Structure 1
Amino acid sequence: MDSLIPILAIWALPVLLAITLHEAAHGYVARHFGDPTADLAGRITLNPLKHIDPVGTILVPAGILALTTLFGAGGILFGWAKPVPVNFGRLRNPKADMLWVAAAGPFVNLLMAVAWGLLFRIAATSEPGAYTLPMLKMADAGIQINAVLMVLNLLPIPPLDGGRIAVSLLPNRLAWRFARLEPYGFPILLVLLFTGILGTILWPLIAGFRYLLSTVLGF
């Protein structure tokens, strides 16, 4: 338990920011394209309390970290916030604008990964001090959770963001058929997760992204 507390302290802020800003971005872009639903619900905010899902934002990430720390076993660290309500029918051009609303979340995760990468470089090149190692670990955690959420959400499985991007890009007839998979999206993800297929798909992409980020930022 003593070793778990510092790990939770390091990961708490990156996970909270990654998940809540991801959701807020969807609402902000939806409002920009004509749907005020999230705005009227008070969900376009940086206040994490408006986005926290007790299970997805707290229990699931904490449970994965606990399993990894205590037993050396675990899976991909991920979680979710309360979905921001978006009425795609109220967008000015629903099918086309859906792409931008869906892409907003992963794009914000990309920006946060870059920001954490810059912090990692600053910490790595600073004079050693009491806060250097915790800063490095928190920055590394920020890169990791944002890379995971970005890559995971870009998978072309409705209702993930990648699935909605695919619906936006596909011709109308194919888009309609593909969108009908949405009720089965979460069970599909669970099957992929528990069979290990999800990790096999995601880890090379996450590792490639981290390598590219470290190369560009020079750390």
Structure 2
Amino acid sequence: MLDFSLPQKIAIWALPVLFAITVHEVAHGFVARRLGDRTAQMMGRLTLNPLKHIDPVGTVLVPLAMLLLPGGFLFGWAKPVPIGYNNLGNPKRDMAIVAAAGPLSNLLMAAGWALLLRLSVELLQPLPWAAQPLFFMAQAGIAINLILMILNLVPIPPLDGGRVLTGLLPARQAAALGAIEPYGLIIVLALLLSGVLWRILQPVIQLFNQLLLVMVGLGGSA
């Protein structure tokens, strides 16, 4: 991507980041409601209004700081949607399904942005004034959603991948993995800051990016 000024970066990334984080959380709450837990609905969190989901640090400060860092990648988080574990019909299994809903929503959004990227390419000649901003925003939308999807699938609780794995493991092993949760974010941040986790995740993100571009007929050229 070109070397944009900070205001340009914010204009390009703001909507993709807000949608990626907001829909991710709503997906958790929506699936939980389908499985018997109405906690998120009763607390007014089953809404696409980003103001209901914004975390001042994870949704604003961290993404903004990442935009200022050279060579970094953008990520963030929203306020977690509350889930009443005991309200679920089969808590252990259903919690894994609820957790998987977030990354799946990011994959679907990445596919949607890929379609918009294809549209922007088609509009580049007749409507360049509209196509160019859409092109860069669509690239940002694909990137942030793939980053959130793959990062959240890391099998360390409280990330979604950790909750999915907890739901799949036998009770004893699940309890052992769950004991990591209070330290999970510290572990993930340490791995990210060291560069180890990013070196593992980057090829996977690039693979999904190429697959999406091929899917919309861009052949990895965008």
TM-score (norm 2): 0.93
CA-CA distance at 1:127 after TM superposition: 4.2
Measure the CA separation in 2 of the matches of 1:213 and 1:74: 23
- Work out whether residues 121 and 218 of structure 1, in 8 Å CA contact, stay in contact via their aligned partners in 2: yes
- Work out whether residues 64 and 74 of structure 1, in 8 Å CA contact, stay in contact via their aligned partners in 2: no
The aligned counterpart of 1:20 is: 22
TM-score (norm 1): 0.95
The aligned counterpart of 1:59 is: 61
Pick from 27, 35, 38 the counterpart of residue 37 of structure 2. 35
Which ranges of structure 1 fall in alignment gaps of 5 or more residues? 68-72
Measure the CA separation in 1 of the matches of 2:90 and 2:124: 52
Which 4+ residue blocks in structure 1 deviate beyond 3 angstroms? none
Residue pairs, 1:73-84, within 5 angstroms: 73-84=70-81
Measure the CA separation in 2 of the matches of 1:119 and 1:53: 28
**For each residue in 1:146-176, what CA deviation from the matched residue of structure 2 results, as whole angstroms up to 9, or x when unmatched?**
0000000001000000000000111111111
Measure the CA separation in 2 of the matches of 1:43 and 1:156: 26
Q: Does 1:185 align with 2:187?
A: no
Letter in 2 for 1:100: I
Measure the CA separation in 2 of the matches of 1:172 and 1:194: 32
Give SS of 2:118's match: helix
Letter in 2 for 1:121: R
The aligned counterpart of 1:213 is: 212
Letter in 2 for 1:145: I
Letter in 2 for 1:107: L
The aligned counterpart of 2:161 is: 162
When the two chains are superposed, the root-mean-square deviation of aligned CA atoms in Å is 1.1
Pick from 62, 79, 102 the counterpart of residue 99 of structure 2. 102
Measure the CA separation in 1 of the matches of 2:67 and 2:56: 16
CA-CA distance at 1:4 after TM superposition: 1.0
**For each residue in 1:95-125, what CA deviation from the matched residue of structure 2 results, as whole angstroms up to 9, or x when unmatched?**
1111210011001101100000000001112
- Work out whether residues 157 and 163 of structure 1, in 8 Å CA contact, stay in contact via their aligned partners in 2: yes
Measure the CA separation in 1 of the matches of 2:181 and 2:73: 22
* Paired residues, number: 213
The aligned counterpart of 1:151 is: 150
The aligned counterpart of 2:116 is: 119
- Work out whether residues 65 and 74 of structure 1, in 8 Å CA contact, stay in contact via their aligned partners in 2: no
